[in-house]
């Protein structure tokens, strides 16, 4: 019966070939041009046939699929987009089991399916718009389908995977492959897509802003379409109430049936467009929606504004300049902008000290987001890290019940995709030099606004007033010095000889320390400025809490901003802190005489009545302990950074012990006394307990033991003896804390180890030293360096001071690749007792007492 039907069709095809075509199936018949024969899907949704794009005048012929009844035709697939038939006649059909296109002179094969007998094959146009070539032998095995070979349109039922690509038409009337492609973003993660120019350069990307801004993201309704309705096991569609906010108000979540009428088109002009039934040729969503939506339209650190024309839409942020000025003049902004000065420079004049706030702005995906209670916390998080470029704070309603109801977004990499006056934009605070905030709109392609010029005017007024105040203050100081001209004159002869001056200075230091008074005459022997208390009060806003940076063992530390923008850390000593005049004078003179890149620099001092104030260079990254003991910030310290910090501390201690004119024992080395500058260079601070040794002196004793439990060597804590080896012991503890990320004091393990030192020795003895390492270092650590540092640290904490290395030995061990380190002996262990103290000092304990190192004294 089957054979008789096929024979009848074949017979009729000789006389009336089109009559053997089912409306949606091709078996042995063909579709010809000219002629009105087409394939129409069973539900009359799609139609296949010959077409010529509107607007062409030549004889190019294409076979394609379009929406049935659409006028003008909405083409969704083209079989021969790059090989049109140039002829007034053309045919399309099954030849030897494969789809082909031909005329009198050309034959274009469209499929190349091999397998069983070609006489049992058929081609069918489905209601999904898919043209399927399959076996007609009962198996219905699909040999080829048009959905696997898309052109510029994505239809429901297509499978979006890593190899799926939509390619635009070359122009509105030319179906050949154009310049733009749409596919999954290979680097952007799941459910992110990109439009590329000439398959190389990104032109637009979804997911650029992450959760920071939702405006230009791929809408959920479109992502669901591209996922082939498999985003969940039940594929339940969200309700309209939970659809994401969008400037495209006409988009609502479609029903299952309406989804079948959706389509996504890669347009010839580079826009990816989403269409729905009833909208015809008008999209309800498209990206890029403007010139500023183009990926990295203005390059790095370039800000885009849609309100300007194409040649002036970009400008560099304040503090930046075009990387290629000539290209910017031509309207080519791809090279972006570069800083006029480094963000992290050693010179304090170039430090990044302020933030430029951009209103209603978008920027590329943030590198980190955390919960905060207020904007000041977010700002401080950015200031704590040298590489932080910008921050933004946004209310997070989902976190109201949690710790904070604000989300802090931080950018560490170069800023890109910056848009001004953007829909749903947020305030973006970009890190710049203080001087840059005083210059509004002087870079880029646009001038500043009147508001910015007004801000500049105010800044100049304040700066001028500040300069006047400084002139008055230092003029007064100069006049006071002139009043003591006779005394000064007697000293001029000694100042001509540097060696004699140094000797005199050291002599005065010792005499001053032995005295109990701070006389006006003493100020002349100090090489740092004396600051008036009133100026300090104004710079700290009268020691307001908002300027407080923290609290040390001897008093609070404040951030002071002086006229001209100079930032200084101000340490205000409590009258009842235990640090008296002796420690104060000690710190002022010693730091003034010590100059090393790994020692904090004293900027000035003030003493008036009960007020004793020290002014230091400002360290934006605060102290080392605020990083290594913080489970969030510790990730910022890679092993490379930690190793450089260890080296820096060792070099600073070597300078104190051996290389400086004044041989110094610090006596209070600990992680909280290691400050970090913008480049994470360590600076040893707090010299209030330091002592000067004579040239040949190696040890001393005291009846007044002052220091921090957990860092004090046993001979100092128990008997009051201190030496250079006491600092070496403290250095060893600091190194173990840097490696492990845990404090020596308050460290308890189930095995009974009461402090970090005991734990480290046990792991070393069991050949498990690497288990001591902080888990955040597992991806960045250098095995040999970590083991070398642990070995060196255990050598530094040996019980007998004679067994401990000198700091010169420690620096050599750390810096040498070939040095063979000795095997450490058992360190000085402390037996825990029920001693509880919060005092910063203690009187000398009895020799029979055992001091607990599980408690901090400072």
Averaged over 57-74, what is the pLDDT?
88
Taking residues 507-523, report their average pLDDT: 45
* CA 172 and chain centroid, separation: 42
813-854 pLDDT, tens digit each = 998 888 889 999 988 764 433 333 333 333 333 322 233 232
- Over its C-alpha atoms, the chain yields an Rg (Å, rounded) of 39
Q: Which of 85-99, 589-603, 690-704 has the lowest mean pLDDT?
A: 690-704
Q: What's the pLDDT at 481?
A: 57
d(CA 241, CA 479): 75
Q: Which residues contact 701 (CB under 8 A, 6 or more apart)?
A: 719, 720, 721, 722
CB 46 within 8 A of CB 35: no
Please determine, for residue 491, whether its predicted confidence score (pLDDT) is greater than 50: no
Residue among 47, 76, 68 at smallest CA distance from 273? 76
| pLDDT for residue 78 | 96
Confidence band for 247, pLDDT divided at 50, 70 and 90: very low
Note the pLDDT of residue 555: 74
Give the CA-trace dihedral at 375, 376, 381, 387, to 10 degrees: 90
The answer to whether 209 and 417 have CB atoms below 8 angstroms apart is yes
Element (H, E) at 498: helix 498-514
In contact, 315 and 294? CB cutoff 8 Å:
no
In this structure, the number of other CB atoms found within 10 A of the CB of residue 768 comes to 10
Between residues 636 and 704, which one has the greater pLDDT?
636
Pairing state between β 418-419 and 302-304: parallel
Tens-place pLDDT, residues 535-587: 898 888 888 888 888 776 567 888 898 877 788 889 887 654 445 566 677 66
For residues 741 and 221, the model is more confident at: 741
Q: What is the DSSP letter of 251?
A: -
Token pair listed for 800: 């007998």
Q: What is the largest CA-CA distance in the chain?
A: 133
- Give dist(CA 78, CA 74) in Å, integer: 11
Compute the average pLDDT of residues 490-509.
35
pLDDT digits (tens, 9 = 90+) for 105-146: 888 999 988 766 656 788 999 999 999 998 877 777 889 999
DSSP string computed for 814-843: HH-SSPPPPPPPPB------S-----SEEE
Give the whole-angstrom CA distance, residue 428 versus residue 815.
43
Domains of the chain, first to last: 2-149 (2.90.10.10), 186-289 (no CATH), 302-448 (3.50.4.10), 484-617 (3.30.200.20), 625-843 (1.10.510.10)
3-state secondary structure of 858: coil
**Average confidence (pLDDT) over 462-485:** 65
Find the range with the poorest average confidence among 313-317, 514-518, 722-726. 514-518
pLDDT of residue 224: 78
* In the block, residue with structure tokens 């898919």: 130
What is residue 710's predicted lDDT score, i.e. its pLDDT? 85
pLDDT band at 488 (very low <50, low <70, confident <90, very high): very low
Mean per-residue pLDDT, 314-335: 84
Instruction: Give residue 851's pLDDT.
Output: 31
**Is the pLDDT at 513 greater than 50, yes or no?**
no
- Within 10 Å of residue 807's Cβ, how many Cβ atoms? 25
* Residue 806: Cβ-neighbour burial (10 angstroms; 0-12, 13-18, 19+): middle
Q: What pLDDT shows up at residue 246?
A: 38
Question: Structure pTM?
Answer: 0.50
Query: 621-650, pLDDT tens digit by residue?
Result: 888 998 999 888 898 899 999 999 999 999
The tokens of 843 are what?
């009187």
Query: How close are the terminal C-alpha atoms of the chain, in Å?
Result: 102
Kindly state the helix (H) or strand (E) to which residue 375 belongs, with its residue range: helix 375-383
Helix ranges, 67-138 (H): none
Residue 438 three-state SS: coil
Going 806 to 676 to 714 to 745, the CA torsion angle's sign is negative
CB 16 within 8 A of CB 29: no
At 830 the pLDDT is: 46
CB neighbours (10 Å) of residue 390? 25
What are φ and ψ of residue 585, in 5° steps? -60, -40
Q: What is the dihedral of CA 217, 222, 226, 232, to 10 degrees?
A: 100
| pLDDT value of residue 574 | 64
pLDDT at 183: 92
The whole-number pLDDT of residue 48 equals 94
Task: State how far the Cα of 105 lies from the Cα of 95, in Å rounded to an integer.
Answer: 16
Q: Which of 24, 185, 216, 668 is catalytic?
A: 668
Q: Can you give the pLDDT at residue 583?
A: 64
Alpha carbons 590 and 497: distance in angstroms, whole number: 21
Contact 46, 67 (CB under 8 A): yes
pLDDT for residue 788: 95
Short-list 247, 227, 254, 241, CA closest to 164? 227
CA distance 61 to 410: 55
Measured CA to CA, the distance from residue 822 to residue 795 in angstroms comes to 8
Residues of 559-598 as b/e, b for ≥16 C-beta within 10 angstroms? bbbbbebbbbbbbbbeeebebebebbbbbbbbbbbbebeb
Helix (H) and strand (E) counts in the chain: 18, 44
Q: Please give the residue that has the higher pLDDT: either 469 or 764.
A: 764
Q: HEC string of 617-684? A: ECCCCCECHHHHCCCCHHHHCCHHHHHHHHHHHHHHHHHHHHHCCCEEECCCCCHHHEEECCCCCEEE
Residue 668 designated active-site? yes
- Do the beta carbons of residue 570 and residue 558 sit within 8 Å? yes
Q: What mean pLDDT value characterizes the chain? A: 75
Residue 426 β-bridge partners? 361
In terms of Cβ atoms closer than 10 Å to its own Cβ (0-12, 13-18, 19+), residue 642 is buried
Minimum mean pLDDT among 24-33, 153-162, 644-653: which range?
24-33
Token digits for 583?
A: 């420690």
Long-range contacts of 45-51 (CB under 8 A, 24+ apart): 45/127, 45/128, 45/129, 45/260, 46/76, 46/125, 46/126, 46/127, 46/128, 46/129, 47/125, 48/125, 48/131, 50/90, 50/92, 51/75
Percent of the chain topping pLDDT 70: 69
């Amino acid at each position: 019966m089957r054979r008789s039907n096929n024979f009848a069709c074949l017979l009729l095809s000789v006389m009336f070939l089109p009559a053997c075509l089912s409306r949606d199936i091709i078996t042995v018949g063909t579709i010809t041009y000219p002629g009105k024969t087409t394939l129409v899907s069973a539900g009359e949704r799609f139609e296949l046939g010959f077409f010529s794009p509107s607007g062409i005048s030549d004889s190019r012929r294409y076979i394609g699929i379009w929406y049935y009844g659409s006028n003008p035709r909405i083409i969704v697939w083209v079989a021969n987009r790059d090989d049109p038939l140039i002829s007034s006649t053309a045919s399309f059909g099954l030849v030897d089991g494969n789809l082909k296109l031909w005329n009198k002179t050309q034959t274009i094969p469209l499929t190349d399916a091999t397998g069983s007998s070609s006489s049992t094959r058929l081609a069918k146009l489905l209601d999904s718009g898919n043209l399927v070539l399959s076996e007609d032998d009962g198996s219905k095995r699909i040999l080829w389908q048009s959905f696997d070979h898309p052109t510029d349109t994505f239809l429901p039922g297509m499978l979006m995977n890593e190899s799926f690509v939509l390619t635009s038409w070359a122009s509105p009337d030319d179906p050949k492959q154009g310049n733009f492609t749409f596919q999954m973003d290979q680097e952007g993660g799941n459910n992110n897509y990109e439009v590329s120019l000439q398959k190389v350069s990104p032109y637009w990307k979804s997911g650029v802003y992450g959760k920071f801004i939702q405006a230009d993201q791929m809408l959920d309704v479109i992502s669901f379409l591209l996922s082939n309705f498999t985003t969940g096991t039940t594929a339940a569609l969200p309700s309209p109430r939970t659809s994401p906010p969008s400037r495209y108000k006409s988009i609502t979540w479609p029903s299952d049936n309406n989804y079948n009428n959706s389509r996504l088109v890669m347009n010839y002009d580079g826009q990816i467009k989403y269409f729905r039934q009833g909208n015809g040729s008008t999209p309800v969503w498209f990206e890029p929606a403007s010139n500023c939506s183009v990926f990295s339209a203005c390059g790095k650190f370039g800000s885009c504004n849609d309100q300007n024309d194409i040649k002036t839409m970009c400008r560099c942020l304040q503090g930046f300049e075009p990387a290629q000025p000539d290209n910017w003049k031509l309207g080519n902004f791809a090279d972006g902008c570069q800083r006029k000065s480094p963000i992290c420079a050693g010179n304090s004049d170039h430090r990044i000290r302020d933030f430029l706030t951009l209103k209603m702005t978008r920027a590329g995906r943030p590198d980190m987001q955390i919960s905060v209670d207020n904007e000041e916390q977010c700002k401080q998080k950015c200031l704590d890290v040298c590489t932080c470029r910008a921050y933004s704070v946004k209310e997070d309603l989902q976190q109201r019940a949690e710790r904070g109801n604000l989300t802090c977004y931080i950018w560490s990499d170069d800023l890109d995709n910056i848009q001004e006056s953007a829909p749903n934009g947020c305030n973006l605070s970009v890190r710049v030099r203080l001087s840059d905030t005083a210059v509004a709109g002087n870079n880029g392609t646009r001038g500043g606004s009147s508001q910015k010029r007004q801000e500049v005017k105010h800044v100049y007024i304040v700066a001028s007033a500040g300069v006047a105040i400084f002139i008055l203050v230092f003029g007064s100081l100069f006049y006071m010095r002139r009043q003591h001209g006779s005394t000064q004159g007697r000293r001029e002869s000694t100042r001509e000889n540097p060696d004699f001056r140094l000797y005199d200075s050291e002599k005065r230091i010792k005499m001053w320390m032995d005295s109990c008074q701070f006389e006006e005459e003493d100020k002349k022997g100090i090489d740092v400025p004396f600051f008036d208390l009133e100026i300090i009060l104004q710079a700290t806003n009268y020691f307001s809490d908002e300027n407080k940076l923290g609290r040390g063992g001897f008093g609070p530390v404040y951030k002071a901003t002086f006229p001209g923008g100079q930032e200084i850390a101000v340490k205000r000593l409590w009258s009842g802190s235990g640090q008296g005049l002796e420690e104060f004078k000690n710190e002022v003179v010693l730091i003034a005489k010590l100059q090393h890149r790994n020692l904090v620099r004293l900027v000035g001092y003030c003493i008036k009545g009960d007020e004793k104030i020290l002014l230091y260079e400002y360290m934006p990254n605060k102290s080392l302990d605020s990083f290594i003991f913080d489970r969030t910030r510790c990730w910022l310290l890679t092993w490379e950074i930690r190793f450089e910090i260890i080296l820096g501390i060792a070099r600073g201690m070597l300078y104190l012990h051996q290389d400086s004119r004044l041989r110094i024992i610090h006596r209070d080395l600990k992680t909280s006394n290691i400050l970090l500058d913008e480049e994470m260079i360590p600076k040893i601070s707090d010299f209030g307990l330091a002592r000067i040794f004579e040239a040949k002196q190696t040890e001393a004793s005291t009846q007044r033991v002052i220091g921090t439990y957990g860092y004090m060597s046993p001979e100092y804590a128990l008997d009051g003896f201190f030496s250079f080896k006491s600092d070496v012991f403290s250095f060893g503890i600091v190194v173990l804390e840097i490696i492990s990320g845990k404090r020596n004091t308050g460290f308890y393990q189930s095995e009974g180890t009461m402090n970090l030192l005991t734990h480290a020795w046990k792991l070393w003895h069991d050949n498990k030293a690497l288990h001591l390492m902080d888990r955040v270092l597992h991806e960045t650590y250098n095995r040999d360096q970590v083991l070398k540092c642990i070995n060196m640290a255990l050598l530094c904490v040996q019980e007998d001071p004679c067994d401990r290395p000198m700091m010169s030995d420690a620096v050599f061990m750390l810096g040498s690749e070939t040095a063979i380190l000795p095997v450490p002996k058992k360190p000085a262990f402390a037996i825990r007792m029920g001693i509880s103290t919060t005092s910063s000092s203690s009187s000398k304990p009895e020799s029979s007492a055992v001091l607990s190192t599980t408690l901090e004294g400072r």
